[in-house]
Amino acid sequence: MELKEYFEFLISDYTLRTISIGTAVLGAICGMLGSFAVLRKQSLLGDAISHAALPGIAIAFLIIESKNSVVFLIGALLSGLLGTFWIRGIVNKTHLKSDTALGLILSTFFGFGMLLLTYIQKIPNANQAGLESYLFGQAATLVESDVWLMSGVTGISFIILLLFWKELKILLFDPDFTKTIGFNTKFLDILITSFIVVAIVLGLQTVGVVLMSAMLLAPAAAARQWTNKLSTMVIVAAIFGALSGVIGTGISASSNNLSTGPIIVIVAAIFVLFSFVFSPGRGLLFREIRFRKNRRDLQLHKTLSFMYHIAKDHANISHPHAIKILNNFQGFTRKTLKQLEDKNYISLDGNMWQMTPTGYEKAATLYDQISKSDE
């Protein structure tokens, strides 16, 4: 399908429009709250929570024996929270480390959930079709009321973020200090953690329990590369998240047989990859370029300061010297000399070189800097 066609379809088709708005809102809230998860080093907690939510959904189904996404949400929330508390309990009360606790809870809860799901499948006449969509997500199952719910939660969490922005920022950066100046860190901690859990649970229907954590991390990790400001990071992460949601849904809607979860995750991963490589401040590409340039400059500066030491012993700084005497110094090549000449620091004349006043001045400041940093 052509992109243009798709957008026309998007505007005209009610279902697709609903789904797209839903995934966009979901992406936005995940990006927003994911930024906090990433900065608090709770990246993998999301993974554990989302996996731990599966038995909750299955038990909710066993209790009400029909599909109702609000009841499922509550089930998921409860078992996700149970998993989270158990992880905390293991880390606090035993010598097991958090990585073990996370892996243990996510896999055993998930296994229990799968046990229940396969059990449910065998129940005759059960109205169970579609429960599997919680594994990898099926945006197509979103209806308008789901979208309203998501938008409502997103709106509330946005207001909370605005209200407590200053407090949350300082909690993230320096919790001890936050406590000393009189903010209730426990309250703030519970506030942000519960919103993260709610965002995860909201996304289960669309992205699925298996891949939900990526939806939380990827937009935030990508956004971090483009800015050094928390507010910008949160906004950019929300935009990346929304875009991943919409584009992912679009691709999955245009071809059959594809769960939305994996596609959205791939789109988000592409944002991450692109950001890692091409972001101007932190990106690997520009870092490499800067690194090479610095190394070249360092080479030039070394040569220049060596020349400076020779030149400054003469009354006339532009006194010509033989290139030969630079041989004691390993760092120079014809090329570096040429570059120094291009920068107008020295002038070359056959086998002789002489320093220009500009070069002398430059070398003198370099020398000062070096001796200062040696102090």
Site residues (CB under 8 A) for other proteins, limited to 301-330: none
Q: What is the DSSP letter of 352?
A: E
Indicate if the alpha-carbon torsion angle 285, 291, 295, 301 is positive or negative.
positive
Rule CB under 8 A: choose which of 3, 181, 330, 350 binds other proteins: 181
- Secondary structure of residue 349 in the 3-state scheme: strand
Phi-psi category of residue 65: left, alpha or beta, with phi > 0 → left and psi -120 to 50 → alpha:
left
91 near other proteins (CB under 8 A):
no
26 near other proteins (CB under 8 A):
no
Minimum CB distance to other proteins, residue 18 (Å):
23
Rule CB under 8 A: choose which of 88, 155, 229, 368 binds other proteins: 229
Rule CB under 8 A: choose which of 87, 153, 204, 233 binds other proteins: 233
How many C-alpha atoms does 109 have within 13 Å on its Cβ side?
30
Q: How many angstroms separate the CA atoms of 14 and 8, rounded?
A: 12
Rule CB under 8 A: choose which of 110, 134, 306, 360 binds other proteins: 110
158 near other proteins (CB under 8 A):
no
Q: What are phi and psi of 115, to 5 degrees?
A: -60, -45
- Secondary structure of residue 43 in the 3-state scheme: helix
334 near other proteins (CB under 8 A):
no
Minimum CB distance to other proteins, residue 119 (Å):
4
| Both structure tokens of 139 | 């945006």
Q: How many angstroms separate the CA atoms of 31 and 50, rounded?
A: 16
Chain positions 130 to 149 lying near other proteins, rule: CB under 8 A, are 132, 135-136
116 near other proteins (CB under 8 A):
yes
241 near other proteins (CB under 8 A):
no
**For other proteins, how many residues bind (rule: CB under 8 A)?**
85
Q: Which is nearer to other proteins, 255 or 328 (CB)?
A: 255
Percent helix, strand and coil across the chain, each to the nearest 5: 80, 5, 20
Q: What is the DSSP letter of 97?
A: -
Rule CB under 8 A: choose which of 19, 30, 31, 51 binds other proteins: 51
Q: Which is nearer to other proteins, 145 or 294 (CB)?
A: 294
Chain positions 209 to 228 lying near other proteins, rule: CB under 8 A, are 210-211, 213-214, 217-218, 221, 224-225, 227-228
Chain positions 261 to 290 lying near other proteins, rule: CB under 8 A, are 261-263, 265-266, 269, 272, 276, 282, 284
| Both structure tokens of 333 | 């090549």
The answer to whether 58 and 120 are in contact (CB under 8 A) is yes
Q: How many angstroms separate the CA atoms of 186 and 201, rounded?
A: 22
179 near other proteins (CB under 8 A):
yes
Minimum CB distance to other proteins, residue 372 (Å):
9
Minimum CB distance to other proteins, residue 250 (Å):
15
Q: Which is nearer to other proteins, 349 or 375 (CB)?
A: 375
Chain positions 55 to 84 lying near other proteins, rule: CB under 8 A, are none
Q: What is the DSSP letter of 324?
A: G
Angle among Cα 236, 191, 69 to the nearest 5 degrees reads 80
Q: Which is nearer to other proteins, 164 or 329 (CB)?
A: 164
Helical (H) or strand (E) element with 230: helix 230-254
100 near other proteins (CB under 8 A):
yes
Tell me the window of 59-67, 115-123, 291-299, 358-366 that interacts with other proteins (CB under 8 A): 115-123
Q: How many angstroms separate the CA atoms of 339 and 270, rounded?
A: 40
